[in-house]
Structure 1
């Protein structure tokens, strides 16, 4: 066993073990660098006989932490200590402490509903409030309160809202570890710097290398792999390059290279890291921090609910955590690549993912886990002991989608389809695709389609060959992937240059994992074929996963450009991206879309970036339960009349239409709607109606006892109904004048009184008849030649 370096958390071991025996739950608050991530699992190994699950927010942290604990025990991972992350694990038969990513906890619970043989669950970095950590907290607490009162829960964090946790678990033990820190001077950019981020990083690093306040290594916080690669390339050109070596801390870097970051080095180290170094791992010797102020934040595409990683500004709390990394072993300097005003305008803390994420997959998996644990008496989703209750709007949206997919019944309990979807570690939409593919015998192809949807595009900037028109935007990329595997000699240089190699690795891992899980045959695929008939399995599969995303496509011309508008079956409009290869279809499944500002407009519109083409026959064949025949009247703008037709509808979309000779019952309603929207058309003006209102006002002034009749206010729609009665075109409407419609609409007594007291026309002495002008705000008046008035009384 290696000689242990004493860490601040070690002083709490006795108190921790004592609390472990007296309490179900321990809340441990300890700053970064205290050693909680590596030492608390050791405490548990010594104090408990069963297994411990340590949940980490990131794959890199899970593996590095497991390796560190194993190293301190003089072992390799897979002995007493192991880890399990996506696509990789190191666990042996004797392993009692397992580090895993938070997302795997639910999968573990589904396989082992009561966590048999597991004595403790540790939630590390709980202050980050990831969706999976909140779920793990709620389910572990429910187990403690019902089936497993002996199960221990340890909630650990660098900065924790202990009051909220203590209110949720009033009998929990609260332990705090103090870590001596050194002062860190914070510096900001003086203003907006227009240079690319990587060159601003170079300037900041060179400044710290020459700064006597920063004698140690420099830690640079960046959003992800792309920023890290660009910054590494830029730093390699630095005039001070001889004074330092560049290291990258991210999941894709080989393990041996990652280990060097934590070991002594002859030169100063400049470590380019994601936010994994914010609190999850501690790097010794850092006295300088460069903070880009951004990170990749787990989010989801509102269009399809699939997970995304969006680059966003981090909170003030995260900025403070990052700066603190420069003051772990000595005083240091933190350089923020943004202004002080920018910092002050940021949110104090990040919003918990539970309050802002799509919950469909979580809801289904939680229901599955609860049903396995408490058969016949499982709690409802909202009944679990959440630290914060999920928003009702998010829960309802998830339940509605799951019902649409056939995954839950009317009581929101998993159906047979839902139970099958639970076994897939995927969004329910994608699981539904695989469920359908299993019935059709096309699992291999479906695994690839799902991998492309889940991991993102194979090509850089999601650029399909715009010259190729296909039935599905995934077809070209699926075909390219298949050729890479089975016929690499057919790949052109242009195609190789277009492939995103990091994406290719992720898609390969996802595809291989799904094929293994589904026991699908490994064979050359047929997803690249372009014959999507009504019997096509791929259309059937994608419709099963995206039944609410069907659109009609219509080509239109705008500003000398041909655009393809999309009319959504459930209302609303958008447009098809020009980069889409689905240019010749009448209908499509909108697999992915984003909100963009339409050119020359301030309005946003949904642009479909990934689509699968359909035709009316496919929808008629595959969606019989959603099609219906209806007799419908519609407005023919060219002839300006109501026409009747029989339409075959898919929800609100017209699949087929045949004009009929008979009149539909709603013909007058169609005419009414057109008249109301285009008023005063087809009449030249609404002046007769305006004159009537003014005549009524004058009449009521003269005869106060008269009951006022108004058309423009309350009775306008009734007046339009009166005009439309028995008619079906503007030509029919114009058979009478607007004044005639008014005269036949108002009561006979009112009409008689108006004609007598406030006539529309009067006869002058010359015998000439002239119209009286009834204009609001003016007394009635007439105009004519002077001689016409001679003899007028």
Structure 2
């Protein structure tokens, strides 16, 4: 090993760490930024006797840090990367048979565990920068702990962090020993430059950069939220800076490794650089020559919403821990200055630490990895923070939809196992597996790479185009939009590498971009969208979506949306492709549902039936159902009667009177059937079903004889008793048969002309004499002149006053002095009086 390595603060605690790792399976190392843990610890542990010549695997959260640390450690051996020290990152591997230290990232550790759960040949797994709490780090640690518990008692685990509460992770590791290194940093002056709400971020950053260049020596590291802000600040600076000795370098994850390395390396004497970086430069990297940090205090994170099943990029305020990490970049090599574009008061409101990714990320990949690992319940593993149930359920639903899990959601399918082998998001893996048999593997690889990266096309002003096909064109060097050529070349190399890995040789995808929408439909079954009348779109998953501003795709009838935020009622469409209905019908038959909908139509008062073909929430086709099942028609007709009420049935006066008579008798005898409206509605199936089979509408129901149907509910004895206790009519002294009105349960009534009751001493009674009829005594013109339930009292007291009035109004009619002895008559006068 080279003896030219400068002494670092971590060196003083390496003996303690070596002792802890020798005596225990697990340990935690807390080392301040700049202490040298990332590059010193793996080298110090490489020759430990307990390692027995096995490999060390170190997990880094970022590709840039993985490559950079591997290159630095390789230099300690005076070697190039790929010999004793190597790395494996997505689409890039430099490791060989002699490699003893491998720096890995982006799910590589998970792939290694899936391929060999025992991790044969590996003696130590190091989790670096664990305070970032990446999803892959949490998953990798959980799987390693189970491997250690079940398969490899000799496997050792080391968790390293710069700013972290050690006790929770030490407890997770079984009470692991904690080693602390205070680190070394030079004093950093903090200057607050709060940005007014009316000032754009890029303007404030550019002004502060100019101030820092005038007031300080050395290089500048500027933290910005994303690529858009980096480009904007770079553009402003290039228009203002006239000093040819000052160079500007962007630094973000989408750059080529050569461009990233260029930003990290020192410049010749007399030259200065400004590095415009995302949070990629926050940890594990030393940007040579930096003495000034300018921190905008913002970062861009992906937030997943279980409610919508969508992720969205949000610009959020950094945590205090992240701000301190950034500030520390200025004091790595010498005293420095940190400009913060916020106030001390605003700083008080910052959260202490960032939220772990596992608590707000899309967990579909994690759940598929666990299913491939053989875990049905996440509680089987030990987690620092357990994955939240809503996001897990959303992930399970998607994996079932993609065919990766069986319908129960508990068992991985053969298709799911193949998807897990890809090491990509399950949506992308499913798309590639569907694309290759169609001869579209090449196009699938292009889409897979594009969907895994930030947009590399630059739009001028307010112009934008959400069509993914122009990205494919740009990737093939045939596009008309401005792109970052370095990024384009890197993505093209990734496409070729993926094609080689999958053995894709088809050429059809190189020409036919009309299939982009179809391939996206395989990946985003829940985001197939149909245009609505208002120009917005309905997604198959049930959400609404819309374009912001005029877009070439905005008039397409069918879309597949690859990128959409979940804000508001109608999410903003960011990336999509058109697809034809014929393509969907041909290739997504298994995902379409045919529904037979038999329902009650309240407008036509009839049972209707329709067949609907649907894709999720999207209605694709609807046709009338010619022969709906008779049992279902009967059920819906009964439901319609319940909804509309019994008035839908053909009530005659006789039917209604029969019902009322039966209800009247039940009032005095609870053993009788209940024929009230509520009871009849409740028991429709029992008394009505047999009569309405084959009927579908109100007009059909009019053929029913409701009186006979109700009567059939009563026994023969009850029908006879009904005639005795609640007769339909009452014969009055004049000989007329007057119908009895039973609508008032408490007071059955008889409406009869007063003259027809002469000679009747008392009120008629029903219900075996228990209930007197309420008499509505009518004038010759059929108008009520008196209401009474006590006819005898009426004759004795009231009749003479009523007689006086009636005699004046109807002088030609018979109004005797003694009604009890008079002859009843239906005419003006009895025959004897004419």
Q: Smaller-chain TM-score range?
A: 0.7 to 0.9
Equivalent residue for 1:517? 501
Matches for 1:457-536 after TM superposition, within 5 Å: 459-460=457-458, 474=468, 477-478=471-472, 480=473, 485=476, 491=478, 495-497=479-481, 499=483, 501=485, 504-505=488-489, 507-521=491-505, 523-525=507-509, 528=512, 530=514
- Displacement of 1:326 after TM fit? 2.9
Specify the SS of the correspondent of 2:342. coil
Structure 1 residue corresponding to 2:232, chosen from 195, 217, 230? 230
**Judging changes above 3 Å, is the alpha-carbon distance between structure 1 residues 443 and 763 closer, same or farther for their aligned structure 2 residues?**
farther
User: 1:141 & 1:426 partners in 2: Cα distance?
Assistant: 23
- Could you state the TM-score of these two structures normalised by the residue count of structure 1? 0.73
Specify the SS of the correspondent of 2:535. strand
The answer to which of 159-168 and 216-225 deviates more is 216-225
- Displacement of 1:101 after TM fit? 1.7
User: 1:380 & 1:185 partners in 2: Cα distance?
Assistant: 50
- Displacement of 1:528 after TM fit? 3.5
1:202 correspondence with 2:244 = no
User: 1:117 & 1:496 partners in 2: Cα distance?
Assistant: 51
Equivalent residue for 1:442? 440
User: 1:421 & 1:146 partners in 2: Cα distance?
Assistant: 26
Q: Does the 8 Å contact 1:20/1:26 carry over to 2?
A: yes
User: 1:207 & 1:151 partners in 2: Cα distance?
Assistant: 52
1:383 correspondence with 2:380 = yes
Matches for 1:550-629 after TM superposition, within 5 Å: 550-551=528-529, 553=530, 555-556=532-533, 562-566=534-538, 568=540, 571=542, 573-575=544-546, 579=551, 581=553, 583-585=555-557, 589-597=560-568, 603-604=569-570, 610-615=576-581, 618-619=584-585, 622-623=588-589, 626-628=592-594
Q: Does the 8 Å contact 1:192/1:339 carry over to 2?
A: no
**Judging changes above 3 Å, is the alpha-carbon distance between structure 1 residues 280 and 92 closer, same or farther for their aligned structure 2 residues?**
same
User: 1:462 & 1:242 partners in 2: Cα distance?
Assistant: 27
User: 2:583 & 2:335 partners in 1: Cα distance?
Assistant: 72
Equivalent residue for 2:814? none
Structure 1 residue corresponding to 2:366, chosen from 350, 362, 365? 362
Structure 2 residue corresponding to 1:405, chosen from 385, 402, 406? 402
**Judging changes above 3 Å, is the alpha-carbon distance between structure 1 residues 438 and 239 closer, same or farther for their aligned structure 2 residues?**
closer
- Displacement of 1:520 after TM fit? 0.7
Equivalent residue for 2:341? 337
**Judging changes above 3 Å, is the alpha-carbon distance between structure 1 residues 76 and 661 closer, same or farther for their aligned structure 2 residues?**
closer
- Displacement of 1:194 after TM fit? 2.9
User: 2:217 & 2:487 partners in 1: Cα distance?
Assistant: 38
Structure 2 residue corresponding to 1:394, chosen from 391, 405, 421? 391
The count of corresponding residues between Structure 1 and Structure 2 is 683
User: 1:762 & 1:610 partners in 2: Cα distance?
Assistant: 82
Q: Deviations over 1:36-89 (max 9, x none)?
A: 111111102232422111111111111111111222332222222122222223
User: 2:398 & 2:276 partners in 1: Cα distance?
Assistant: 41
Equivalent residue for 1:697? none
**Judging changes above 3 Å, is the alpha-carbon distance between structure 1 residues 466 and 255 closer, same or farther for their aligned structure 2 residues?**
closer
Equivalent residue for 2:832? none
In structure 1, stretches of 5+ residues that fail to align are 372-377, 557-561, 598-602, 677-710, 734-747, 770-790
Equivalent residue for 1:38? 39
1:88 correspondence with 2:85 = no
Q: Does the 8 Å contact 1:465/1:581 carry over to 2?
A: no
Q: Does the 8 Å contact 2:445/2:499 carry over to 1?
A: yes
Equivalent residue for 1:423? 421
Q: Does the 8 Å contact 1:635/1:641 carry over to 2?
A: yes
Matches for 1:254-403 after TM superposition, within 5 Å: 254=258, 258=262, 261-262=265-266, 265-283=269-287, 286-299=290-303, 310-368=314-372, 370-371=373-374, 380-403=377-400
Structure 2 residue corresponding to 1:164, chosen from 153, 168, 171? 168
Q: Does the 8 Å contact 2:376/2:411 carry over to 1?
A: no
- Displacement of 1:580 after TM fit? 5.9
- Displacement of 1:278 after TM fit? 2.0
Q: Does the 8 Å contact 1:141/1:385 carry over to 2?
A: yes
Equivalent residue for 1:646? 610
User: 1:768 & 1:292 partners in 2: Cα distance?
Assistant: 92
Q: Does the 8 Å contact 1:515/1:522 carry over to 2?
A: no
**Judging changes above 3 Å, is the alpha-carbon distance between structure 1 residues 105 and 529 closer, same or farther for their aligned structure 2 residues?**
closer
**Judging changes above 3 Å, is the alpha-carbon distance between structure 1 residues 451 and 668 closer, same or farther for their aligned structure 2 residues?**
farther
- Displacement of 1:298 after TM fit? 4.5
Equivalent residue for 2:812? none
Equivalent residue for 2:220? 218
Q: Does the 8 Å contact 1:359/1:398 carry over to 2?
A: yes
- Displacement of 1:90 after TM fit? 2.2
1:433 correspondence with 2:399 = no
Equivalent residue for 2:78? 74
In structure 2, stretches of 5+ residues that fail to align are 646-675, 686-690, 702-740, 750-773, 785-808, 810-834
1:246 correspondence with 2:248 = yes
Equivalent residue for 1:776? none
User: 2:132 & 2:433 partners in 1: Cα distance?
Assistant: 34
Q: Deviations over 1:83-116 (max 9, x none)?
A: 2222223223322111222422112223333222
Of structures 1 and 2, the larger Rg is shown by: 2
Specify the SS of the correspondent of 2:73. helix
- Displacement of 1:402 after TM fit? 1.8
**Judging changes above 3 Å, is the alpha-carbon distance between structure 1 residues 161 and 730 closer, same or farther for their aligned structure 2 residues?**
farther
**Judging changes above 3 Å, is the alpha-carbon distance between structure 1 residues 286 and 616 closer, same or farther for their aligned structure 2 residues?**
closer
Specify the SS of the correspondent of 1:417. helix
User: 1:527 & 1:394 partners in 2: Cα distance?
Assistant: 38
Equivalent residue for 1:98? 102
- Displacement of 1:224 after TM fit? 3.3
